[in-house]
Structure 1
Amino acid sequence: MRYALDAVQMKNLDKKTIEQIGIPAMVLMERAALYVAEQVREHAKPTDKIIAVCGTGNNGGDGIAAARILHLWGYHVTIGIIGEMEKFSKECREQWKIAKNLGLSIRTEWEITEYNIVIDGIFGIGLGKPVSGEYAKVIQSINQSDCYVVSIDIPSGISASNGQVFGCAVKANETVTFGEQKLGLLLYPGATYAGKIHIADIGFAKEKLDSLTYTYYETTDLDKLPIRMPYSNKGSYGRVLVIAGTESMTGAAYFSAAAAYRMGAGLVKILSAKKAIPVLQGMLPEALFAAYDEEDYEEQVNKALEFATVIVIGPGLGVEAIAKKLLLKVCKEAKVPLIVDADGINLLAMLADEMIPDVLQLTDEVERLHQRIYYIKEILPEGTILTPHLKELSRLTLYPLNKIPCNLIDIASYCTYNNLMIYVLKDSRTIVASKDLRYINVSGTHGMATGGSGDALTGIIAGLIAGGLEAGKAATLGVYLHGLAGEEAAKVKSTYSMLAGDMIEALPEVLRNHD
């Protein structure tokens, strides 16, 4: 598990290292510059011409120092200064003096087309306003060139906290970032500008980060999988109840149930509409089945709840009156972990529309969101997992859909404030958040943007809970495994042709080496 910090957290870590630990800023800068220079050397030929485009802050100082190191290694390097030299930071000015004393070429005017490699040291993580004027022109010239670009800490023009573009930004082939990963390098669109990311340990203070610091997983985190015991039986690995599907939407129920089985659940029961059962039996004969209708749904739900150690409700359930009754009964009676997905989330939004219509009149988007979440938490059992994609999240919270992608970090905090629900906010970078949990997922591929993918994720999470993981860990590990399965499926089917079922069938390969 690794951490991903925002700009404020990283600045605080930098400040602590310098002021409390006592490591001088110039020492940190020299180490940072060495990492950058070594990365450039991996790609540079002796005949290449390199330019370090440097601003006047410490990011520029890093660039000047990296240029000097490459110069001493025998490379043809120019330093291009952008901005007023009178505004040099203390460390940047010192690096400029050293470079000048060594006779490096330092220019304030240049043509990017004269060079093969660009070191981007224009802005660091502290940028907080749109890029304009001379800076925008330089960034555009870099992006329009054929140069190989290495950015220092973060591509200039990208927010370190949320990955948004401040007007324009450098498109790097590689980014060398320092200390810890930056949220802005993981979130889109920042991730598309960063290229290959290298995390360099330059000596920042090691400290325990709080629970609201974002984490992400690597393959070593698969050791968090539930333990399989030699002496065990199907009753040892939990019982998943999937309340899902209608006659016209059997696929969603199947994907959730099949994924739960593939994830190791001992037993899976599907509670669905009567006309859907024959179809589902043919699709997944390993499952148990129960049917409901308008007359006997309460009795069937009661029986099914007695069976379950974890419950999934919503995939392909529809939003008719009977579906609403099922959801309300399950929310009232459930005594085990509950996952609400798809139509379950749409039903919650509809209930909120009916019960608190005055919220629709509020103009403040965050206040509307808080009112909706407060109502929803009164319906759902504590610890419920909700798995909305962005459109479902907009329906649930009334937060404008077009504003969600650039505010997903903040929305995760808004949704989890003062409640114990767990939100799995599905996007290209899915976020899992609760009152004391923040996780950002980095596995997966764009081939997963296909129908049924979210239903499979729900089943994977349910299977992990059935196997013994607590809900928060199951949600984070489930999202990560889902992404790995997508990557594995893409190797075989391609990102164009993969289907939700391919991801489920890829799970065994992902899990094979961790059995």
Structure 2
Amino acid sequence: MQYLVTSSEMQHYDAHTSQTIGLPALVLMERAALAVVNQLQTEDFNLSRVALICGYGNNGGDGIAVARLLKLHHIDVTVYLVGLPNSASAQTLQQIKIAQHYQIPVMTSLPDSLSSYTTVVDAIFGIGLNRNVSGEFLRAIELINQSHADVLAIDIPSGVCADTGKILGAAVKAKQTVTFAYSKLGLSFYPGLELAGKVTIADIGIYADKPASHYTFEQDDLDKLLPIRANDSHKGSYGKVLTIAGSQNMSGAAYLSAKAAYRAGAGLVRIYTPICNSTILLSQLPEALLSPFTPNHVNFTELETWINWASVIVIGPGMGVSDDSHQILSYVLNHATVPIIIDADGLNVLSQDLSLLKQAKSPIILTPHLGEMASLTKRAIDEIKHNLIAIAKTFSQKHNVICVLKDAKTVVAQPHKPTYINQSGNNGMATAGSGDVLTGIIAGLIAGHLPAAQAAPVSVYLHGLAGNNAAEKLNKYSLLASDIIEGLTHILPN
């Protein structure tokens, strides 16, 4: 697991390390500079002539220290200072004095162009920026982006909000970014993620005395995340998934969700669907149990039998928005005592009457994409897209649900717990049925005895890894939802 920290969390960790633990700030600055120089020297940067554009804060101090270390390697360096000298931190003033003793050119005005430099190091703002850039800072960013040189950003590209990834007026476009201790939240979301280029996290000795409020998974976590399968197990050992899905001419979503649940390890999957889907589902997925019903004549006594049979319930994929859908969703929420995953048309029905959630007696996972979240919250899609974390958190806490808000970087929010930000996946997964597959994976892991609070973020991560595997074998243009299911077979451990 990797922390994704906000600017205030990082500033707290930094202060705790230097002030409470007693590791001097100048030592941290030196270690940061060493990490940047190592990146410059081991990666594909042309170091024939290097300009370092530095602010007067500690980010600028890091940049000036980098200039000194490069000078020791006989590299031609020039430092350009941007901003007001009276705003300088004590550490940056010290670095300026040291650089001057090393006879490094330290210029207090920007050049007309940076075109003569082969590499530019961006050390203007760091993570503390909280307003739009203007004046001399704006000109510095424009000069960097116009230079055609290789650009390395220190900690975060200047002009990118460390908490959201938004551009604050203007921002540096870097080839690479070296960030310190932990990745910053703004490096996980577009456009910050794209502007940062390749991101390297450098350990410089900063100590986190409390957990961060956001996290992500890494490949090394995979074995520790999955439920354990016993050698003496049988199909009943891995739970029973009830998938309530499908409608007239909409059997595909039921198939994808049910098959994904099996591929994620479920022991038994039962599909509760209109009778018109029976033949095609039995032929597509003979492993599934089928319980068809007649539209407009739902037998709720029979439905209750299957609710009581299930270890986890999926409701919504391809089921349509109808009186049947509303009645079935209401009945499930009112009678189930096992985790319920509401997706697709289940969410569309729910958006008409959010009070249905008050009936729930068990953990609820909602898996909306942006359009479905707009219906649930009565907010514009653009507003949600640019405030994924805040909106997912607020909704989760207000309705006491686990909210899996799907986008290029999916967010999993749940009450009183850290928020998961997914880093796996690719744009080929933006295809019909991808969400049905995710719903099935969540159900499969819960059936295999992973608690809902863990199954939601783990499934999102697995879904992305499976999509990456499929894209490697095929390509991003041609990816189908069924390819993601097959990708699971290659990324899950034996």
User: TM-score, normalised to structure 1's length?
Assistant: 0.92
Shift of 1:300: 3.1
AA aligned to 1:283 is Q
Select the residue among 353, 364, 368 that pairs with 1:384: 364
| Whole-Å separation in 1 of the counterparts to 2:156 and 2:362 | 39
2:403 matches 1:423: yes
Q: How far is 1:230 from its partner? A: 1.1
**AA at the equivalent of 1:105:** P
Map of 1:245 onto structure 2: 246
| Contact 2:240–2:312 under 8 Å retained in 1 | yes
What CA distance in whole angstroms lies between the structure 1 residues aligned with 2:320 and 2:381? 22
Q: Which amino acid aligns with 2:122?
A: D
Aligned ranges 1:111-510 → 2 under 5 Å? 111-209=113-211, 213-223=213-223, 224-293=225-294, 294-352=296-354, 375=355, 377-417=357-397, 419-437=399-417, 438-510=419-491
Residue identity matched to 1:466: A
CA contact (8 A) 2:338 2:362 kept: no
Alpha-carbon distance in 2 for matches of 1:132, 1:96: 24
User: CA 1:345 to 1:46, structure 2 compared with 1: closer, same or farther past 3 Å?
Assistant: closer
Name the structure 1 match of 2:106: 106
C-alpha distance in 1 between matches for 2:434 and 2:82: 47
Cross-structure match for 1:366 = none
Distance 1:45 1:11, change over 3 A: closer
* One-letter amino acid of the structure 2 residue matched with residue 429 of structure 1: K
3-state SS in 1 of match to 2:387:
helix
Call closer, same or farther: CA 1:109–1:46 in 2, change over 3 Å: same
Q: Is the 8 A contact 1:235 1:267 kept in 2?
A: yes
- List runs of 5+ in structure 1 lacking aligned partners: 353-374
**Which piece of structure 1 moves more, 401-410 or 267-276?**
401-410
CA contact (8 A) 2:45 2:119 kept: no
Deviations 1:420-477 (CA, angstroms, capped at 9, x unpaired): 3111011111111111331111000011000100000000010000111000111111
Alpha-carbon distance in 2 for matches of 1:20, 1:174: 32
Q: Distance in 1 between matches of 2:160 and 2:278?
A: 51
**Percent identity (aligned):** 47
- 1:360 aligned residue: none
Distance in 1, matches of 2:428 and 2:298, equals: 41
Aligned residue in 1 for 2:74 = 74
1 CA distance for matches of 2:191 and 2:157?
Answer: 11
One-letter identity of the residue aligned with 1:164: K
Separation in structure 2 between the aligned mates of residue 191 and residue 478 of structure 1, nearest angstrom: 23
Between 392-401 and 200-209, report the one with greater CA deviation: 200-209
Contact 1:44 1:117 in 2 (8 A): no
CA deviation string 1:336-395 (max 9, x = no partner): 11100011111011124xxxxxxxxxxxxxxxxxxxxxx354133342000001111110
DSSP-derived class of the 1:414 partner:
helix
- What is the CA deviation profile of residues 172-203 of structure 1, one whole-angstrom value per residue up to 9, with x for unaligned ones? 11111111111111122211111111111111
CA distance in 2, matches of 1:195, 1:423: 29
Worse-superposed segment, 215-224 or 418-427: 418-427
Q: Is the 8 A contact 2:392 2:411 kept in 1?
A: yes
Whether the 8 Å contact between 2:340 and 2:362 is mirrored in structure 1 is no
Report if the CA contact (8 A) 2:47-2:118 is conserved: no
Give the secondary-structure state (helix, strand or coil) at the position aligned to 1:119. strand
The aligned counterpart of 1:361 is none
Q: Compute the displacement of 1:258 (Å).
A: 0.6
Which runs of no fewer than 5 residues in structure 2 stay unpaired? none
When residues 283 and 45 of structure 1 are mapped into structure 2, their CA distance, relative to the original with a 3 A threshold, is: closer
Aligned length: 489
CA contact (8 A) 1:389 1:426 kept: yes
Q: State the shift of 1:44 in Å.
A: 6.2
CA-CA distance at 1:206 after TM superposition: 3.6
What amino acid maps onto 1:509 in structure 2?
H
In 1, the alpha carbon distance for the partners of 2:250 and 2:178 equals 47
Amino acid at match of 2:384: I
1:508 aligned partner, one-letter code: T
CA distance in 1, matches of 2:475, 2:136: 42
Output one character per residue of 1:307-333: Cα deviation in whole Å (capped at 9) or x when no partner: 211100000010011111111111111
SS in 1 for 2:379: coil
CA distance 1:418–1:325, shift in 2 (3 Å)? closer
Q: What's 1:371 paired with?
A: none
* 1:138-161 residue CA offsets vs partner (Å, 9 max, x unmatched): 212322332111111111111111
Task: Report SS of the residue matched to 1:494.
Answer: coil
Report the equivalent of 1:356.
Answer: none
Cα separation, 2, equivalents of 1:238 and 1:172: 48
Task: Flag the 1:47–1:232 CA change in 2: closer, same or farther, 3 A.
Answer: closer
CA contact (8 A) 1:297 1:326 kept: no
Partner Cα distance (1:390, 1:144) in 2? 35
Mapped partners of 1:418, 1:392: distance in 2: 17
Asked if structure 2 preserves the Cα contact closer than 8 Å seen for 1:292 and 1:300, the reply is no
Give SS of 2:179's match: strand
Please say if residues 290 and 300 of structure 1, whose CA atoms lie closer than 8 Å, have aligned partners that are also in contact.
no
Instruction: Mark the CA change 1:349 to 1:57 in structure 2 (over 3 Å): closer, same or farther.
Output: same
Amino acid at match of 2:439: T
**C-alpha displacement of 1:82:** 1.5
Residues 7 and 163, structure 2, Cα contact 8 Å, conserved in 1: yes
- The more displaced of 314-323 and 222-231 is 222-231
Question: 2:338·2:363 contact (CA, 8 Å) conserved in 1?
Answer: no
